[in-house]
Structure 1
């Protein structure tokens, strides 16, 4: 019984691999470049990607459960559909898919709409799947930490509705728990969705206040200018992705990422411990700076 992890070299994927091996699972990792990533002993590594059909066939052979994570890229939906069809060909029925919270509401945002399309295909193809829908990951903040630390500004235009940010370590642990639940079940389990959220719903001003406390000096919120945000992103990402991120930020401003009733309690029960807080995340980052 083998669990295949796609996206295994990324922030969440690496931690899912570690969580599973710590729990005694047999793990196979699909990566583009095995030389760039070190995995725990015993992990089988397959080189390839989600558009390399023959590599995918090799990776899926003999697999009982699939963790499907594919990144924000222009052909994300095609990658997912190729993977799902090949998984079905390989006889795989058990899947955990990493989607995004409000994928069914932020439908003008390309990568949200793509993930919602994958959710629909999981339903239409009859997979037994857990669809994990994480809110904004705290680890996204690593891309802007130099602005916070060096310029005293929290630059993400997240607005005043609030985001229930979640730590990627919690995402990975919940993913591992769900993978093993499906892997070890005597038969197919029904499809279900789980919102992955943090313990606090934070506004831009809230986050700036947390950073101020963590650093012991004033940090200000940079404001809600999504156009300026898009322009700044062009310094290190392609224009299509910068525009995608702008559209996402505009939905942050208009709607936020608010948990549903019972989400936090469900995750706390699943983990058997409290969810990691943004305050603790910021304190860890400040201490390592």
Structure 2
């Protein structure tokens, strides 16, 4: 009984692999470059990617459960459809797919719309899967820690509706728990969707206040300039991706990312501990400065 993890070396994927190994699972990782794959001892490695049909067929051979994670790339939707079709061809009836919260409510945001289309494929083909729908990753803010600590501003345009931010480590652990629940089930389990949220819903001013408290000096929230956000992102990512992120930011302002009733309690029970907070993340960053 083997679990295949795609995206195994990324922010969430490596957490999934580590949690599965910790729990004694037989894990196989699909990676682009085995020489750079820093995975725990005992993890099987298959070289390839989600557009390499032959490599993916080989990776899926003998696998009982699939964790499908697609990076935000221009052909993300194609990658997911190919992977799921090949998994179905291989007779895999246990799947956990990493989508995004409110994929159905952000219809103009490319990577949200793509994930929602994948969810529809899973549902319409009758695949037995758990669809995990995480909110904004707290860990995204690692990329702007220098702006916070050096310039005294929190620059992310997250608005005043609130985002139920979740730590990627919690996402990885929940994914591993769900993969093993499906793996160990005597029969394939029905389709299920689970929102992955953090312990509190935070606005831009809320996050700036946390940084102010943690760092012991004023941190300002300058507002919600999504055009400026796109311009900044274009310095280190393709234009299409920066625009995708801008569209997401605009939805943050109008929709937010709010949990459903009972989400926090459900996840707390699943983990057997409290969810990690933004304050804990900020404190870790501050301690390392």
**TM range, smaller chain:** over 0.9
Contact between 1:134 and 1:195, CA under 8 Å: does it hold in 2?
A: yes
Aligned twin of 1:130: 130
Aligned twin of 1:288: 288
Instruction: Name the SS of the counterpart of 1:63 in structure 2.
Output: coil
> Separation in 1 of the partners of 2:61 and 2:191?
23
Q: Per-residue displacement from partner, 1:118-167 (whole Å, max 9, x unpaired)?
A: 00111112111000000000110011111111111100000101001000
Aligned twin of 1:108: 108
TM-score by length of 2: 0.99
Aligned twin of 1:266: 266
Aligned twin of 2:73: 73
What's the offset of the Cα at 1:82? 0.5
Instruction: Name the SS of the counterpart of 2:96 in structure 1.
Output: strand
> Separation in 1 of the partners of 2:25 and 2:247?
39
Instruction: Name the SS of the counterpart of 1:257 in structure 2.
Output: coil
Aligned twin of 2:55: 55
> Separation in 2 of the partners of 1:17 and 1:263?
24
RMSD between superposed Cα atoms in Å: 0.6
Aligned twin of 1:146: 146
What's the offset of the Cα at 1:188? 0.8
Are 1:40 and 2:40 matched, yes or no? yes
Instruction: Name the SS of the counterpart of 2:106 in structure 1.
Output: coil
Are 1:194 and 2:194 matched, yes or no? yes
Instruction: Name the SS of the counterpart of 2:8 in structure 1.
Output: coil
When the two structures are aligned, how many residues end up with a matched partner? 289
Q: Per-residue displacement from partner, 1:198-229 (whole Å, max 9, x unpaired)?
A: 00100000000000111111110121111111
Question: Where does 1:124-273 land on structure 2 (aligned, <5 Å)?
Answer: 124-273=124-273
Structure 2: runs of 5+ lacking an equivalent: none
> Separation in 2 of the partners of 1:175 and 1:235?
33
Q: Per-residue displacement from partner, 1:84-106 (whole Å, max 9, x unpaired)?
A: 11101111011000000000110
What's the offset of the Cα at 1:37? 2.1
Structure 1 stretches of 4+ with a deviation exceeding 2 A read: none
What's the offset of the Cα at 1:34? 1.2
> Separation in 1 of the partners of 2:167 and 2:284?
12
> Separation in 2 of the partners of 1:16 and 1:285?
22
Contact between 1:156 and 1:222, CA under 8 Å: does it hold in 2?
A: no
Structure 1: runs of 5+ lacking an equivalent: none
> Separation in 1 of the partners of 2:181 and 2:146?
40
Instruction: Name the SS of the counterpart of 1:28 in structure 2.
Output: strand
Are 1:86 and 2:86 matched, yes or no? yes
Larger mean Cα displacement after TM superposition, 134-143 or 35-44: 35-44
Instruction: Name the SS of the counterpart of 1:286 in structure 2.
Output: helix
Contact between 1:96 and 1:131, CA under 8 Å: does it hold in 2?
A: yes
What's the offset of the Cα at 1:288? 1.1
What's the offset of the Cα at 1:117? 0.5
Q: Per-residue displacement from partner, 1:26-78 (whole Å, max 9, x unpaired)?
A: 00000111111211111000010000000000000000000000010010000
Instruction: Name the SS of the counterpart of 2:190 in structure 1.
Output: coil
> Separation in 2 of the partners of 1:231 and 1:39?
35
